[in-house]
Every structure is written in C-alpha cells, then in structure tokens.
Amino acid sequence: MSVSRWFVDTVTVETFTGTSGYGVDQFDAPQSVAGFLESSRKLVRSSAGDQIVSEATFYTDKANIGLFPANSRVTYPGVTTRVIRPNLNDGPGLGLPEHAAITLE
C-alpha cells in the first residue's frame, strides 16, 4: 500500500556526510524530496537517547530514508533545520502503508 497520494509537500535535503578535520559539517548536494510535512511541537528522543523538542515531522517514501541520516540539513518554506532521527515504518506482508518518518528540530 502506498501513501504517496498524501505527498503534497516538498523539502530540500542536504545529506550529512560527516565533519571535516576542521570541525565543519559536510553535506551532499541539495535534493528535492516529496512527502507530507506535519508541523507540530513534541518532545522526542534523539538517536543518542537525549530528549529534544521536535518542531516538525516529514513523511516520505521509505526509499528516501537514506537521504535523511541524523544531522542532515532540511529546508522548507521559511525554515532550515536539522534531522533529529529518521524512522522506517514498514511491515512487509502486513499490507500497511510503508513510509519513512523524519523527525526535525
């Protein structure tokens, strides 16, 4: 089952690739990704287990999850933010809508 019919928003992602020897964050070239952006503030856990406030969640096709590792830069109208953590929501064989949920700062 596909959830792509709800993908009415587009964000630009710059995939985090690491930090240079000078401590500068490095990113891949920007890419546009379709999905659904939900703006809602909530308390979540980072990939390190710390509590952090999330301002939005971006839902997209599960094939896009590799574009959104933690610390990747995401831009949507009026906002540039970072990925707190990506989450793959799949259930092979269950017939449920499979997708990636990207928690944003």
More confident: 45 or 84: 84
The mean-pLDDT minimum among 18-27, 68-77, 83-92 falls in 83-92
Over residues 63-74, mean pLDDT: 96
Provide the pLDDT for residue 67.
Answer: 98
Ordered by where they begin, the domains of the chain are 4-104 (2.40.10)
Q: Provide the terminal-to-terminal Cα distance of the chain, rounded to the nearest Å.
A: 29
- Tell me the backbone φ, ψ of residue 73, rounded to 5 degrees: -95, 130
β strands within 4-50, DSSP E? 9-14, 16-19, 25-27, 31-45
Over residues 84-96, mean pLDDT: 80
Provide the pLDDT for residue 89.
Answer: 84
Q: From the CA atom positions of the chain, what is the Rg in Å?
A: 14
Alpha carbons 102 and 81: distance in angstroms, whole number:
12
Alpha carbons 1 and 39: distance in angstroms, whole number:
24
